[in-house]
Amino acid sequence: MKQSIPPLLAILARASAWSYTQDFDNTASVHINALHKYQEMIGGGCSGAFGGACQLFGANGLSPENQQKVTQLLFDENMGALSLVRNDIGSSPGTTILPKCPATPAGPFDYVWDGSDDCQLNLTRTALKYNPELFVYADAWSAPGCMKTVGTENDGGFICGVRGTNCTHDWRQAYADYLVQYVKYYKKEGIDISMLGAWNEPDFNPFTYESMLSDGFMAKDFLEVLYPTVKREFPNVDISCCDATGARQERNILYELEKAGGSDFFDIATWHNYQSNPERPFNAGGKRNIMTEWADGSGPWNTTWDYSGQLAEGLQWALYMHNAFVNSDTSGYTHWECAQQDGGDNALVALQGDTYVVSSRLWAFASFFRFARPGSVRVDATSTVENVYVSAYVNKNGTVAIPVINAAHYPYDVTLNLEGVHVKKASAYLTDNAHNVTLVDQFALHGSTFKVTVEPRAVKTFWLE
Ligand SMILES: *[C@@H]1O[C@H](CO)[C@@H](O)[C@H](O)[C@H]1NC(C)=O
Ligand SMILES: *[C@@H]1O[C@H](CO)[C@@H](O)[C@H](O)[C@H]1NC(C)=O
Ligand SMILES: *[C@@H]1O[C@H](CO)[C@@H](O)[C@H](O)[C@H]1NC(C)=O
Ligand SMILES: *[C@@H]1O[C@H](CO)[C@@H](O)[C@H](O)[C@H]1NC(C)=O
Ligand SMILES: *[C@@H]1O[C@H](CO)[C@@H](O)[C@H](O)[C@H]1NC(C)=O
């Protein structure tokens, strides 16, 4: 027979659907070996492409004061702690540096700089103010129309001159020069572009917006022109390949690029997480890789850290990042838009007139990147249990960041064992439904072992000094 439950208890029971007394061991051991090093980190990021930067800089009424606040929230090392911005090298009328495409590659190329770059210059400049170590990724979705088989920046098509194309002219050098011109305009504004990309999702053809196709063989045919052209003028600018729609799609391009003899013509492998996940190290010949775009996109705006386990929740993003960093040696992780009005789950910050709301996804980024700063190196970290995920990063000055993710619905008692680190003090920062990277504990370290409790459905980042 059912017992009647008092109303308050019924509410409590609903609110804590997951609370039960587990009848098995809730202890885990974590071992950190700082002598075993993996990839160097670049950090978390987002983009202001396709008008997002203009929305952030007031197009829908966000005041100058709030423009600063939101950008600081995203990029300040004590807040969202992002350190990568991905800009679109626009090829559409109104945003392109080459409004009039010449009839032949002989020119003339009448480049123009409007000092705004679809507000991306402002975003980059303001982000740099809050994070001087900002990694600026300039990426083209398409070459100017005249340089492609389809004659327009939309509708896919190929760069004229790569294998399989039969255009009247070979436009590869012209496209390479155009990309360098964009880097020069930023240089004139006092901003160093860190990485330059020639494609966006070249494995995928939506036929509606700026797009351009390529496989790995065709990528080789263009990169062999682009690489020396860029390095002659900007030896420190990295060249990316190729922003495929998924990790698997990127692997296929990289495989073909290598078959074609093009492995030396890029510096960093770039991929999106839409169509497949990273599961193992990339076939990038030891070069770094960055996840350069992803968001749910299909969902409504959501600030939730952990409620239903759906894609856009903060805890899920912490797990995606963990998997990319640990399984695929990924150095950076880039959310699609930084801030947007009416953009659903595409952005980290939702704008509404002069107000803004922050998603918990930003706190997932912060739980890693407030502590694992640009230039930190991932080191070996292992956990004895499946539902406690751990990674570890050593900063340039020897401080150590250890984000521990407890995916279970009950707390874990975790013993951490340290090898190869020399630290005296630990601070614990908690991120869960009630905390956003909040300092919850500080203690002295004696010897190489310490014991902690990690809350359920949480990231607890240990910062060791
Ligand atoms: C950048 O935004 C600020 C307000 O935050 C505005 O005053 C300034 O004019 C903008 N600059 C450009 C180049 O758009
Ligand atoms: C290439 O284009 C030329 C001129 O348009 C044409 O005569 C030739 O048949 C084309 N070749 C191929 C392989 O399509
Ligand atoms: C976010 O999603 C959760 C379920 O996934 C839902 O309960 C919550 O109401 C959503 N919040 C918003 C603001 O849409
Ligand atoms: C934490 O962040 C979420 C999402 O940005 C927000 O809704 C919530 O109010 C914040 N909580 C605290 C305790 O600051
Ligand atoms: C070490 O580097 C980290 C990350 O950049 C920084 O937050 C911290 O203040 C530095 N500590 C010391 C003692 O310099």
Tell me the pLDDT tens digit for each residue of 407-427: 999 999 999 999 999 999 999
Question: Residue 122 CA: which ligand 1 atom is closest?
Answer: 1
Tell me the mean pLDDT in the region 431-453.
97
- pLDDT (0 to 100) of residue 310: 87
Q: Which ligand is nearest to the CA of 114?
A: 1
> Is the CB of 149 within 6 Å of ligand 1?
no
Residues with CB under 6 A from ligand 3: 300, 302-304, 307-308, 310
Tell me the mean pLDDT in the region 370-375.
98
- pLDDT (0 to 100) of residue 4: 40
Query: Is pLDDT at 11 greater than 50 in this prediction?
Result: no
Specify burial of residue 298 (Cβ count, 10 A radius: 0-12, 13-18, 19+).
Answer: exposed
Cα 126 to ligand 1 centroid, rounded to whole Å: 9
Q: How confident is the model at residue 24 (pLDDT cuts 50, 70, 90)?
A: confident
Q: Are 330 and 289 in contact (CB under 8 A)?
A: yes
Nearest-CA residue for atom 6 of ligand 1: 64
Q: What is the pTM of this model?
A: 0.94
The Cα 252–Cα 259 span in angstroms is 11
Q: Which ligand is nearest to the CA of 433?
A: 4
Question: Residue 435 CA: which ligand 4 atom is closest?
Answer: 13
Residues with CB under 6 A from ligand 4: 303, 358-360, 434, 436
Query: Is pLDDT at 3 greater than 50 in this prediction?
Result: no
The Cα 142–Cα 373 span in angstroms is 32
Query: Is pLDDT at 253 greater than 80 in this prediction?
Result: yes
**C-alpha angle 339-342-344 in degrees, rounded to nearest 5:** 80
Beta-strand ranges (E) seen in 238-373 are: 238-244, 268-272, 288-293, 330-341, 347-352, 355-358
Q: How confident is the model at residue 386 (pLDDT cuts 50, 70, 90)?
A: very high
In the chain, what percentage of residues exceed pLDDT 90?
A: 91
> Is the CB of 57 within 6 Å of ligand 1?
yes
> Is the CB of 122 within 6 Å of ligand 1?
yes
pLDDT in tens, 227-241: 999 999 999 999 999
Instruction: Return mean pLDDT, the chain.
Output: 94
Query: Is pLDDT at 6 greater than 70 in this prediction?
Result: no
DSSP secondary structure, 41-63, as one string: P-EEEEE-TTTHHHIIIIITS--
Query: Is pLDDT at 5 greater than 50 in this prediction?
Result: no
Neighbours of 166 (CB within 10 A): 6
- pLDDT (0 to 100) of residue 16: 54
- Within 286-381, residue ranges assigned H as helices are 314-327, 360-369
Q: Which ligand is nearest to the CA of 358?
A: 4
Cα 195 to ligand 1 centroid, rounded to whole Å: 24
> Is the CB of 55 within 6 Å of ligand 1?
no
Q: Probe ligand 3: pick from 303, 307, 317, max atoms within 8 Å of CB?
A: 307
Q: Are 52 and 298 in contact (CB under 8 A)?
A: no
On the CB side of 97, CA atoms within 13 Å amount to 22
pLDDT in tens, 294-320: 998 788 999 999 998 888 999 999 999
DSSP secondary structure, 98-156, as one string: -SS--SSTT--------SSTTTHHHHHHHHHHH-TT-EEEEE-SS--GGGBTTSSSSS-
pLDDT in tens, 133-187: 999 999 999 999 999 999 999 999 999 999 999 999 999 999 999 999 999 999 9
Cα separation values, 344 from 224, 286, 295, 303, 318, Å: 39, 37, 10, 11, 20
Q: Which ligand is nearest to the CA of 307?
A: 3
Cα 218 to ligand 1 centroid, rounded to whole Å: 40
Q: How confident is the model at residue 17 (pLDDT cuts 50, 70, 90)?
A: low
Cα 167 to ligand 2 centroid, rounded to whole Å: 8
Question: Residue 309 CA: which ligand 3 atom is closest?
Answer: 5
pLDDT in tens, 192-217: 999 999 999 999 977 788 999 999 99
- pLDDT (0 to 100) of residue 94: 87
pLDDT in tens, 57-108: 999 999 999 999 999 999 999 999 999 999 999 999 889 999 999 999 999 9
The Cα 85–Cα 52 span in angstroms is 12
**C-alpha angle 238-181-165 in degrees, rounded to nearest 5:** 80
Q: Which two tokens stand for residue 43?
A: 């950090």
* End-to-end Cα, the chain, rounded Å: 58
Q: Are 361 and 335 in contact (CB under 8 A)?
A: yes
Cα 172 to ligand 2 centroid, rounded to whole Å: 19
Question: Residue 121 CA: which ligand 1 atom is closest?
Answer: 13
> Is the CB of 384 within 6 Å of ligand 1?
no
Query: Is pLDDT at 331 greater than 80 in this prediction?
Result: yes
